[in-house]
Structure formats: C-alpha cells, structure tokens
Structure 1
Amino acid sequence: MKKTALVGGVLLAASCYGTAFAATLSVQTATNKLNYGQSSVVTVKANAELSTTRITTSKIRYANVTIKSPTGTTLLNGVAMSKDPYTGFAYYNYTLSSSAPKGTYTATVSFTDTSSNTGTGSTTFKVQLPVPSHASYVTAYNGPATCITSACHAGQASAMFGSVHYQWTGDNQKAIELAASGSKASKMGGINNFCIQPDMNWLTIFAKTDGTTGPGGCAVCHAGNGLKPSTTSSQAQLENIDCLMCHGNGYSRKVIQNADGTFSMVPADGLNVLSIAQNVIRPTRTTCMRCHEKSGGGDNYKRGDIESTNKVCTKAYDVHMGSDGQNFACQECHRTEGHRMAGRGSDMRALDTTRVLSCENCHSRIPHRSTNVSYNDLNRHSDKVNCSVCHVPTFAKTIPTDTHRNWAVMEIDTAKALWDPEMTKGTNIMPTYAWFNGFSHFYKFKDPVSLDARGVQVISSPDGAFVDPTGKFSKLYPFKLHTGSQPMETTTKQLLPVKNKYAFETGDINTAIQLGAAAQGMTYNAHAFVPTEQYEGIFHGVGPKTTAVSCSNGGCHPQVTAGANRIPFASLGYVRRGTTAQMCDVCHSAKTYTSFTSLHSNHRDRKNCAACHGTGYPLKEPTTTLCDNCHSRETFTNANDIHSRHVQGKGYDCSNCHTFSAGMTGGHSEEH
C-alpha cells in the first residue's frame, strides 16, 4: 500500500512503512562578498529547503562545496562544509591563491539530507586585480575621446551609453502604469516632488543673490559632459560620457557657457587631469557620492540614507561601509556587469538589469545564527520582513533630510544665495512601512491627476500587500515618505513642471510655472497647488546588530508612543477576522484558553499568520458550486460552524476548498 501527497509542488511517495522516494532539495548558495582580491578568503554559505520547509542541521547528512575557476578548472572538489549547530546553515572558508586569475568563479554546493533527498545550488563571485597604471597609455588628456579609442575602451563606452546611468530612461517592466503604455521614462520623461522635472532643467549657470554664479541643473549629477543623452549612439554621444566622474580620484567639474549659448562641463580649475587619467581607479564610495549625496539639491535631501557621511564612516554608522567594518565599495551590493547596476528602489521607474539586489545574496534566507537565543523567531521574520525593517530603525542619522517641499512658498537659502521652495527637514526619522513586491505605481507625466481619498496625488508608491491578490511575493520594507505641494494646471488637471533657473534666481514661482509649461508645450490657463507624495526605500545605514529594533523595547510590537506602534499592523492587513471566539470557532468548537501568549505562540509556530489575520484564503470557486462538488441541495446558516465541522470533525485539508500561493498566504515558508 502506498500513500502519495503533493507538497509545495513536489510529489512525495511513501509506503505505509515510512520508506520515501527521494525528492529534490532547493539549495540556496551565497558568498560573503561579490568581489575579491588575490589571497582573499571567500566564505561560501548555503542552506537547503524541501518544498518550502527549511532543512535543519540535524537533518543534513552531507553538505559539500566545489569551486571552479573562470576557465572551468576545479579548485575545490566536493569538500565537506562546516555546519551551524542548529539552523541548517553550512559554510566553508576558501583562500584564493596569490596568483588567482581575474574573472568569474563558480561555487556549487550539494546537499543530502537524512531521507536521501538531494539538491545543488550555485553562485558566482569575481576576482579583481589591481588597476594598472595608465601612464604608458595616456600621455595627453583630451577628454573622454582619449579613453574610448578602438584600441582601448570603445566597448565600455558603448555599454555605458545604453545604461540607465547615462540614458536616464530605460526598461519600465517594474513600473506598472508605465509598462502598460510602453513608456521608457526614468528621471527623463518623469516628474517628482523634489526638483520636479529634469528634462527642461538640464544644465545652466545660476546668477546668485550675492552677485556670484554657480552650477545649476540636473545634469550636474549626470555622467555626461553636458549633452542630453540620445537614444541613438554617435561619436559625439560617446565622447560625452565622462569616464573620470566614476574612475577619477580627486576629479571634479565646473559648468561653462559655450559661444552658442549652450552649457558644458569641463574639469575644474587647478586639477592635474593628466595625472588623474593616468591613475584611474575602480569606483569608490567617494566617486559615487559625487552625484548621489546631493540629489534633490543638497546633502541627503532626497534619499534620507545617502549622505556625505557615507564616504568616511565607522561601522557604528554602517557596518557595510564603515572603515572599521566591511569597508565596502557600492558595487559590492550593486553588482555591476557591462556598466549596468543591480538595484532598484520603489521610486525608480527604469530597470538597469534584471539581477536582483537582496540581502540574501550574502546573508542567505537564514541570516540569524544560533549564537542568538531567539534566532528561530528572528529567522521566521525574514520570510516576510526585509532585513532593513529591523536593522535601519531610523534614517538621516547625521545630516537632515528633506521630508516636505512646498513649491507654493519660496524663501531665500542664505547658504546657497538662491531662492528655494519651503522645506521641512528632519534627522533620526522613523521610516514609514509598506509592502513591496518589486513592482511600483507611478503618476505618468502629462496625465490628469487622480487624487486619492485624502486628496493626495501619489507620485510613486510600492506595489504589494499582506495577502497579494496578484500572487506576487511581498515583503515589508521601510520607506522615506516625501510629501510635496506642487503646481497643477486647473483645466487639464496635469501636474506642471517648473523652470527652476527662474524660480531659484528670482523667487517668482508663478512665472517659473508658466515658463515650465511653455517649455514642455503644455496648456496653461491657471494653476493651483496640490499635495503629492512619493515613497523612497531605505536600505543604507545598517548599524551593528545591537542597534536593531527589539521585539518590545521601542520595537515593532509594543507601543512606541501612546496609541501608535512602529509597525501599523492594521493598515498593513494584520486585522483579526472577527472576535477571538469567532476566529477560534473556524477550526475549533467549545474550547477555552487561559494564556493568550502561549495560544498565539502555539498557532504561530504551526500556522501562517494569514490563517487568523487579513482577508483569508480565497475559495477555489463560489460556495454555490464548491459545496455541490460533495453535497447536493444542502444549505447552511453558520459559516464558522460548517467550516469547523469540515476541518476539525472530518479532518479535511485546507487545499480541498482554498487556493494558496506565496503571495496569497502572506508569503511565509510552509512550516509557518
């Protein structure tokens, strides 16, 4: 006699004596970094799952690792890995040779559990060699044309030309409304509630209120030298790519006005540009921060977690970037291939690469080790809660960030000697929390506004839900919520751009709005100001584990302030379906309990949260036809009673009547 069961898509067969046929394990493999130098130690980590159930250490029979070089040579062949005492996490430290060649290496881990189920998983890492001196190649520097000759970096220039970094447009497959219309918008072609519209505010020189001048326009933080990017490659476009912005140590630029009235960027005065070009480097945090720290108009104005502090900090500020911590360059997480960068925040319209940037790439799905007494509880959270929720409890830790920008009111910024919209700033801000499944919603530039029930136009927001009706997998993420008050045309109901040069030089916002509408060929009769908001993911500023939020001390489950939790459970979908008695009656009848804590813990360990919270699991079909599959012409008046009789009385499996998916069930692994 044989029993069969379908578990998470894997067909298991067993005899009545308990003998099982082997199934395939899903093995997740990771390394502690993405890039290594020669003689470095590579830590390979792995864990295994059967269906969605994690294999604990006591169930692992073998965990072996094989490492191959870029040419396919086997460097390590099936060597046994060490195992964490409890979590099912296996690891191996491999030391690269002092002559290890550059290129992409492959680490493959094979697991066998005590039931003879097997599986393999692979990951890749790179070995990089020091950048050689270019003194023998570059004897005179004549701008980017020096770098992109056919003998040198023409291919890299072409790759960079097609990137989102250069184009500021790209693939909108993750932007729900934009993808439906075939849009390619990103910074270009979009609109925001910071500086509003880059397309018509490209590059200029500001005349300041103190009689001096200064650089202006969004292109100051573009990787080009002044030309707007074109979708068609040309020699002029390729020579517009300023290689030294990313690869020049100590490099900086200034804006000049050309004889024809256009503007360009050239190396700043006093630089030994030849020496910089002869000693190029891989990008560092400092080179990346040339643009990213002052996005939105000032240090940390926009992101809230990207500020000048990131360039030189300690691990107390950020364990990844701290000089006494990992001291990572940005591309350790933002993996770069062909000048395409991994990583996309919810407010970024375009996708540069399909490579997923995730904490799991290095930390695996079981990031908490057995040295933590509550590691099992913490690992349960990682199914549904992104690491940054707990490990970045506040943002704007040292430098204030812009939280609200009111374009209806202009005021003098004495430090800049320019007019700016009225801003509200803050430090050590607790994030806003929302579900995110990797897709986003966007207001499409030149569409009529669609104000929500609060009267707010949402510029960008993450897509996702506790029980996601689309079936996508959502996790909880922290966000900076930036609000604004920006102009809308009263007849067409379109959000309007602003001519920033005029607004910043004169403070006359009304004329600046009219000039902005004219520059974009938009109808203008009159304008009003409408409230807007956009969500921006918080990912940087991960402090030591001692600074992570705890369960009860200023954490997620108690009240942080009177009447408010850090995590707004009800608005996130964690609502109880009825009274306690009604919920219990769904599966039980005539039972009582004395301790809610132990009751909740018992159910939490055996059930998915969505069993008691949220909207519940959808039925396979309406009750009128579902019940007829087994019954004929029967009626019922108490849904809980009929449910209890089928579940507790007859022992029916939930899947007989309900549909399940990772998104619909709240996304936890099966044992939860």
Structure 2
Amino acid sequence: MARCSEDQACSLSGECVRAGFHANFAALQGPFSKGQDVTAACLDCHEEEAQEMLQSPHWLWTGPTPNVEGLENVTTSGKNDFVNNFCVSVPGNEARCAQCHAGYDYKDDTFDFTNERNIDCLVCHADEKAGYVKGQKSAGQPEPTVDLVLAAQSVGPTSVETCGSCHFYAGGGDNVKKGDLGSALEHPTFESDVHMGQGITCSNCHDQGGHVVRGQGVHLAVSRGRLDCAECHGQTVHATAGVNLGSMIDNHAIDVACQTCHIPSFSRQQPTKMDWDWSTAGNNTRGGGTGAESMTLADGTVVQSYLQIKGDFVWEKNVKPTFAWNNGRVSRVTLDTIYPVGRGGPESPVVLAEPLASIADADAKIYPFKVMTGRQPAHLADRYMIAPDLFGPGAFWAGVPPAGSYTPEAVRNLWTASLIAGAKLAGQIGANETIADNEWDFVNTVMYMSINHEVAPSVSSLGCNDCHGNPSFPWAELGYPGDCGSTANCGRH
C-alpha cells in the first residue's frame, strides 16, 4: 500500500487520492446516499457554475449547430437527435447512454434538464484515483461500491482521465468510435501523441472557461467555437526545415490542414471499429452457442468480431485516414431527416455525416477522417433512419432468443417490435401508428468522423512522396485533374 502525503487520502484499493482544498469542507464530510446529495453540497458554493453547466451541450446533449446544413439557426439538435452507425440513437435508450451523461437519473424523455441537482459534478472533477465510476445500466448513477465522500473530497480540475472516462469509451468500448481517442492516451508517450505525451490536457485546448467547451467534429457537429492548430502554432511554422523547404511546406499549409500530414495514421496503438453490421444481430447460435466470436488482427491483437446483441464488426489498427475538403460546414442526418431517393445500397449508402466543402471553397483545407460504415434499420418508403429500442425491459437486447430458440423469423419479429417501440419513443411515428414488417429493412450507411488527436512526432509526418508520385493518392476524388507535383503550384491561392 502506498504511503500517502498529508494532502492525500488513501482509497480502499490503496491508491493515494487528491485530498486538498475541499477535503476539510464540512459540507463534504457526508454521508452521501446518492450522487445528487454530493451535488447539493457543491451548490452551496458553486451555484454560478451550475447555471453555466445547465446551458452546456455536455448537459443538454443539444446545442448550437451554426455549421450544419439546414440547422444553422437552431440550438435543439445534437447527440439527442443525431443518428450514427454505432448504437444508432439516444431516444428510448437513455438509461444506458446516460453512463456518459454528466448527470444523474437520465432515464427517459421526462428527465428534468432544469434541475441543477441532477448535475454530476464528480464525473468531471473527482480525482480519477478516487474510484468514481458511473454504472453501465443505472441512468448515470455511480456504481454502488463508489465511496462518494472520498470522491467529493478529491475534486479539482478535470484531467485526461476524467474526460476520457466517457470520450475514450464512446460507442460501447475502448477506442470503438472516434479512432483517435482511446485509453492508450490516458498515459501517452510522445510517439502516441506529441501534445498529451508532454502533459497537455484536454482542457488546455478545449476549455474556454465558464463551462464552454470548444471544438466541432463532423459526426457530432454541435459547436461553441472551432479549434485550429494555428491558435498555438501560428501560420508559418516550418522554418526549421530550411528556408526553401520551410516556405514550400508553409505554402502547402494554406490548402492542407496540419492534421493531414501530422497524423499519418490513427488507432496506432489499439484497434477501432470501422464497420458495424446490425443486420446479423440476434443469433446466439454463433460462436459455438455463446453468441460471441473473436478474430485476431495481423499484429496479434484479438478483437470481438461478433456479438449477438449488436451484430458483426470490422476492426482495424494503424488506419490511414480518408482525405476530404473541410471548412466546418457539414451535413448531418437527424431522426427526422428524409434521405435521398436511391440511397441505402452498398454502392450508394445513406450518408449520415460528411463535410460539405470542395476544392472550389477558398476557405477549405484537406483534412483527415475516419470513415465508418455500417448496416442499420431504415423505413424504406418514408426514407428515414429508424431509432431502435435497444435497452431495457422488452427491448431488442433483452429479447434476443437463446441459441435453442433461434430462428431468423423470431429475430425479424423482435427487430420489428423494437423499431416500432423505438420510433414511437423518438417521435418518428405516433402512439397509434405502426411499422409493418415489409416497410423496413437494413440499409448501408457511411459517416465521416474528424481525426484530430494522436498527432505523431514530426519525423513521422507525411513527406512529399506520400502524396506526389503516389498512384494511390486520391487526386481525382479531391477535385484535382491529376498529380499537380509536376506543376509550379498545387495551391489555389
């Protein structure tokens, strides 16, 4: 057991926990029976901060979307109505999704977003060594084994670990969703991320003060301000490469985002999901009757390739990004989006999220993306993505038949019931409406996701030959007539 200092407390696991400024506050001596009791104590001093939090997208799961096509002037879209090709959507599944909500008891659409006592201060501010963990199925309440007094007395600034407790595990597992955010970044080396590997934390870049968190992706396009590398590094940063070469690289940076060269690949240390096929879910006979299968990647990493409640997965490691023009403007499918006619097949998937810029946009640059593909339910005639009811009594996950009772017909019927229930909970159909079995099916989808983390050391960045003279570089897809390396200037300015 560690010998802790005077400003630390010892946890049940023997960890030395931060116990400084707040440790002796009378209001934090407990006992606390639930998370809201801790929040009530925090409010004695932090009423202003609570009001800030009540307006934040981290709390509301909605917010300003000034760069989303068709949603420029609204503040009511976001995680709560965006559709993705991981666990699809929030409505009907709140009690499970709330493991990553900064609140308590977000069980369904009756949750009171104006009640400041429902804010979970500890998930962001408790020392990670205090053992504060939210339950997977408890609508955001902590695990019953958590020492709430120890966690409350340990509060302080956020950390990579506290931010990562949600963001590293988005999509249902470690590094599943983003591809550039996984537990490998909790204690990163310089090689895994040059910023976090030198002690830079999430808040150093993203915290604007007043619980305003900056940053905007493509798949989660709520924005309280975009971030740009040049805010720290400036516009002309390549002088160390020599006068001529440095000037040439700086000229490239007018058209090419920093991330494009400096993140040559993502998920370098751990794999990420690249495809999720919901159409095969429900089969407990697979995996020798366990309903689970695994596979081994080329480097020896073992991943789960099938799970009966979720379907088939494709994982990749050390992935080369897809390049596309981006100026912040994006398209985004929501629960009420009608997707275009002819979309949904393998060659023309429904595009759930993508950047809208092209080579013709003077303010755009070439950025790197993870491109996630999948198959998920859609209403065929009305052309909308259906929100499935996955979690809870009577939902899809609870109803998957055991191996001995499996039939394709039984699973199809379970899916239909889940989609009817989910569509009602999401407001896609009325309480007395239904979805017939022949009105829905699984369609192909694709979703672009921004890559901004796992910045590699400069010696690993892309060089001239990675693009110019490379027959696999997507010149045509980016709008160029061909490799412009033989011309005097590739730029557009």
Query: Counterparts of 1:148-297 in structure 2 under 5 Å?
Result: 148=40, 151-179=44-72, 182=74, 184-203=76-95, 217-227=96-106, 234=114, 237-249=115-127, 250-255=130-135, 264-297=139-172
Query: Counterparts of 1:88-99 in structure 2 under 5 Å?
Result: none
Residue pair 2:132, 2:151 contacting (<8 A) in 1 also: no
Mean CA deviation greater in 449-458 or 334-343: 449-458
Task: Return the offset for 1:244.
Answer: 0.4
Considering Cα pairs closer than 8 Å and 6+ residues apart, tell me whether 1 or 2 has the greater RCO: 2
Query: Counterparts of 1:31-70 in structure 2 under 5 Å?
Result: none
- Please give the per-residue CA displacement for 1:193-236, whole angstroms capped at 9, x wherever unaligned: 11111121111xxxxxxxxxxxxx111111111236889764xx
Pair 1:362 & 2:204 matched: no
Partner residue, 2:250: 379
Partner residue, 2:272: 401
| Partner SS, residue 357 of structure 2 | coil
| Partner SS, residue 225 of structure 1 | coil
Code of the residue aligned with 2:60 in structure 1: it is Q
| Partner SS, residue 166 of structure 2 | helix
Code of the residue aligned with 2:124 in structure 1: it is C
Query: Counterparts of 1:633-652 in structure 2 under 5 Å?
Result: none
Residue pair 2:91, 2:422 contacting (<8 A) in 1 also: no
Partner residue, 2:212: 340
Looking at structure 2, the residues matched to 517 and 150 of structure 1 have their Cα atoms a distance apart, in angstroms, of 38
Partner residue, 1:303: 178
Partner residue, 2:469: 558
Looking at structure 2, the residues matched to 443 and 279 of structure 1 have their Cα atoms a distance apart, in angstroms, of 41
**Among 395, 398, 411, the residue aligned to 1:505:** 398
Looking at structure 2, the residues matched to 333 and 427 of structure 1 have their Cα atoms a distance apart, in angstroms, of 26
Partner residue, 2:443: 530
Change (3 A) 1:431 1:141: farther
- Please give the per-residue CA displacement for 1:405-437, whole angstroms capped at 9, x wherever unaligned: 111111534679862221111111110100111
Residue pair 1:185, 1:349 contacting (<8 A) in 2 also: no
Task: Return the offset for 1:369.
Answer: 2.4
| Partner SS, residue 487 of structure 1 | strand
Partner residue, 1:349: 221
Residue pair 1:293, 1:299 contacting (<8 A) in 2 also: yes
Code of the residue aligned with 1:429 in structure 2: it is V
Code of the residue aligned with 2:100 in structure 1: it is C
**Among 515, 519, 534, the residue aligned to 2:425:** 519
Code of the residue aligned with 1:170 in structure 2: it is G
Looking at structure 2, the residues matched to 264 and 456 of structure 1 have their Cα atoms a distance apart, in angstroms, of 33
- Please give the per-residue CA displacement for 1:642-665, whole angstroms capped at 9, x wherever unaligned: xxxxxxxxxxxxxxxxxxxxxxxx
- Please give the per-residue CA displacement for 1:441-486, whole angstroms capped at 9, x wherever unaligned: 1123223221567432111111211112xxx610110000011111
Residue pair 1:140, 1:274 contacting (<8 A) in 2 also: yes
Looking at structure 2, the residues matched to 223 and 285 of structure 1 have their Cα atoms a distance apart, in angstroms, of 16
Change (3 A) 1:330 1:254: closer
Looking at structure 1, the residues matched to 139 and 275 of structure 2 have their Cα atoms a distance apart, in angstroms, of 32
- Please give the per-residue CA displacement for 1:252-306, whole angstroms capped at 9, x wherever unaligned: 335498xxxxx54433244332122112121111111111111111111110110
Change (3 A) 1:159 1:229: farther
| Partner SS, residue 196 of structure 1 | coil
Query: Counterparts of 1:652-663 in structure 2 under 5 Å?
Result: none
Structure 1 residue runs of 4 or more that deviate by more than 6 Å after TM superposition: 229-232, 414-417
**Among 11, 17, 24, the residue aligned to 1:135:** 24
Partner residue, 1:390: 261
Change (3 A) 1:264 1:478: closer
Q: Which has the higher helix share?
A: 2
Change (3 A) 1:515 1:420: same
Alignment size in residue pairs: 422
Q: Which has the higher strand share?
A: 1
Code of the residue aligned with 2:472 in structure 1: it is A
Task: Return the offset for 1:393.
Answer: 0.7
Code of the residue aligned with 1:319 in structure 2: it is V
Looking at structure 1, the residues matched to 112 and 87 of structure 2 have their Cα atoms a distance apart, in angstroms, of 27
Task: Return the offset for 1:506.
Answer: 3.7
Pair 1:426 & 2:316 matched: yes
Code of the residue aligned with 1:225 in structure 2: it is Y
Looking at structure 2, the residues matched to 292 and 477 of structure 1 have their Cα atoms a distance apart, in angstroms, of 21
- For structure 2, the residue ranges without an aligned partner over 5 or more in a row are 1-18, 284-290, 294-303, 401-410
Task: Return the offset for 1:247.
Answer: 0.5
| Partner SS, residue 203 of structure 2 | helix
Partner residue, 1:541: 454
| Partner SS, residue 394 of structure 1 | coil
- Please give the per-residue CA displacement for 1:35-60, whole angstroms capped at 9, x wherever unaligned: xxxxxxxxxxxxxxxxxxxxxxxxxx
Whichever of the two has the greater Rg, that structure is: 1
| Partner SS, residue 362 of structure 1 | helix
Residue pair 1:167, 1:230 contacting (<8 A) in 2 also: no
Change (3 A) 1:493 1:320: same
Change (3 A) 1:494 1:407: same
Residue pair 1:435, 1:474 contacting (<8 A) in 2 also: yes
Residue pair 1:251, 1:267 contacting (<8 A) in 2 also: no
Code of the residue aligned with 2:313 in structure 1: it is M
Mean CA deviation greater in 411-420 or 531-540: 411-420
Computed over aligned residues only, the root mean square deviation of the Cα atoms, in angstroms, reads 2.7
Percent identical pairs in the alignment equals 28
| Partner SS, residue 141 of structure 2 | strand
Looking at structure 2, the residues matched to 406 and 515 of structure 1 have their Cα atoms a distance apart, in angstroms, of 21
Pair 1:328 & 2:200 matched: yes
Residue pair 1:346, 1:535 contacting (<8 A) in 2 also: yes
